[in-house]
Structure formats: C-alpha cells, structure tokens
Amino acid sequence: PDQLFDLYLKSVGRGAAFNLGLAPNMDGVLHPNDVASLKGFGDKLNRTFAENFASGASFNASNIRKNQGKHFGPTNLLDDDRYSYWATDDDVTQPALIVELKDESTFDLIRLRENIKLGQRLDSVWVDVWKDETWQPLAMATSIGSCRLIALEEPVTTKQLRLRLFAPVAAALSDFGLFRIAASAFETQTNERKAADPSKWNIQNNLLDGGNPALAWDGNKESRLLTNEVDLPKYLSIDMGSLQTLTGFGYLPRQDGEGAGLISHYVFETSVDGNRWEAVARGEFSNIVANPILQFVDFGKPVQARYFRFTVEAVANTSSNRSAVSIAEFEVYTK
Ligand SMILES: [Ca+2]
Ligand SMILES: [Ca+2]
C-alpha cells in the first residue's frame, strides 16, 4: 500500500494518470497479494483525504480580482468545486494568501489545484508557516496544474500558513487542502514465502538421469539441472533430513532463454516416512514458455513431511513423452 501511495503521489500528485500495469493471472483474476495491496492502498487513500485541515480556515488575500470576493475570493479554495477559484487582478502576478486554520493542525500533505480550464498559469507556489514570530518556508512546488500533491518530509503543526504565488499572468487557484498521510493498515510482505534450507537435503531417489541435481537448489538462478532425454513421467525424491511443515513449492525454469526441458505438467507428493506418499499438488504450468518466471504452487494448507517427490509428467515445446528436463531452482516453502 505504501508503494502504491508513493506511486500515486508521483502520478496523480503531478497531474498524470495513475497506471499500475497489474496483469491478471491465467484465470483472469488479479493475484491475491495485488488485491490485498490495492485494498490497503484504497483504504490509505480514503483515510488520508478524509479530513482536510484547511476546511473552515479564514483567508486574507493580498489581492482579489476586481475586489469581487464572491466570484474570485479565496473561499473558492474550499468549496470542492475545482472550477471555482481565487483569482487576482491582471497586473497582480505575485499575490500572497494568509491562511488562518480553524484549529492548530498537524499535516504532511498539501494539495493545490489550478482551474485548469484557464490553463496552467502558475510558475511556482511557496508555502510558509508562521513559526517563532516569522514566516518560514515549508514547501515549494512548480507546475501546479489540475492537481499537485506535496508530501512533506515530516508532519508540521501550525495554525497559520502563507501561500505565495508566482505567475506570469493573473493567478487562478481553485483548491487548497491540507492532509495527514494515513498509516497503512498493513504491509504486504514482498517476501512472505520462506524457503526451506536445502543444505540438509539428500536425494532419496532420482529417475531423472543425467545432469547435476544439486544445481537445482544451489541458490543460483543461472545454473541448472539439465537431464538426459528420459521417458516421462519421471520423478526425483528428496529427504529433507527432518520433519517440516510445507506450504508450497516453487519451480524456476531455466533462465538462459532456451526452451528445452521446461516443465509443463507436474505432481508434487510428500511423505513422512519415505514410503507412503500423498499427492498434495498436481497441475500445469500453462504459461511457462511465454513467461518462464518462478512458478509458485500453494498447497492450500500446511503439510507435514520429511520427504517430497516431484514428478515431471510432461514438458512444454514437445509432443513426445521423451525429453530432457531442466530445473534452474527448486524450492519448498515452510511459510
Ligand atoms: Ca474551488
Ligand atoms: Ca541453480
């Protein structure tokens, strides 16, 4: 959520579109982690903009266009209408506006909007706070446009602010808001899966002849097990050395761009004693040729096991059941 919020500040907060580039998976739905992040982000956004600390403020403008406070006065900054605005006379290009907040407030996000129907007029806006009996610069922004969000390094507490506007023509500011960036309700962990330590693994049985199986769990994406051509299905079973709680496994296809040996169909079984096996996952890596990234399979529930057996039922790019098999990395997850 925090990363999405940063992206929001950098896009919407600079008058640009907010494009996440989220891709749905093969079932046409977004990954649950993405959905959780979006919900957290939406929640953060709602809570951040729930209270505008500028609302109820009183203003003292150095100039109001034609002295028409009703049409061009600074109260138009708080009316939620992005086309109503505070404007100055044509020859006033460096006006100032003193803002007296209703209450002393703490904020770390400033929103400014121009009436974009009149074009982008402002060169820059300075925001000062009244502190220690003097105006102290707090923030400055150029190119305001339809929406400019300024995130402060740290929250500031004040009752009085001053805006100084610099424009080549009469200024037309339509909105001014002060907000407190809400904390995220939760943080998604980008690395929530915890891979089991493969240093204690021993091969129990390997029917995938040829190549060096240890290269499939050496932690190096560039090295790989590449077997001889074998008749599929064939399996490899591992003794992890002790009973573990497993939640899923991951298969990283070869990363060298070659298409041979990309596993398309698999069965993953576990065993407590190395004799009796239980299939906990069976399926297809359907997009592996187009997108040879880490293929993560969640068991749906934790499984107690000391042994696991990975059966390669078929590989992509061939209709024959005789093929080499490649595994750049293989991981099992304990969390
Ligand atoms: Ca307005
Ligand atoms: Ca490797």
Average pLDDT, the chain: 90
**The pLDDT of residue 189:** 44
**The pLDDT of residue 190:** 47
* Domains 1-189 and 198-333 in one fold: yes
pLDDT > 90: percent of the chain: 64
AA identity, residue 37: S
What's the CATH fold of domain 1-189?
Jelly Rolls (2.60.120)
Q: How far is the CA of 72 from the centre of ligand 1 (A)?
A: 10
Given a cut of 60, whether residue 186 has pLDDT beyond it is no
Domain boundaries, the chain: 1-189, 198-333
Calculate ∠ Cα 181-60-140, nearest 5°.
45
pLDDT in tens, 85-139: 999 998 888 999 999 999 999 999 999 999 888 888 888 999 999 988 999 999 9
DSSP secondary structure string for all residues of 26-93: TTSS--HHHHHHHHHHHHHHHHHTS--TTTT-EEEES--GGG-HHHHSGGGGGSS-TT--EE--TT--
CB 113 within 8 A of CB 82: yes
pLDDT band at residue 174 using 50, 70 and 90 as cut-offs? very high
Ligand closest to 255 (CA) is: 2
Write out 200-225 in H/E/C secondary structure. HCEEEEECCCCCCHHHHHCCCCCCCE
Domain 198-333: assigned CATH number: 2.60.120.260
Q: How far is the CA of 300 from the centre of ligand 2 (A)?
A: 26
Q: How far is the CA of 75 from the centre of ligand 1 (A)?
A: 8
**The pLDDT of residue 38:** 83
pLDDT in tens, 247-280: 999 999 999 999 999 999 999 999 999 999 999 9
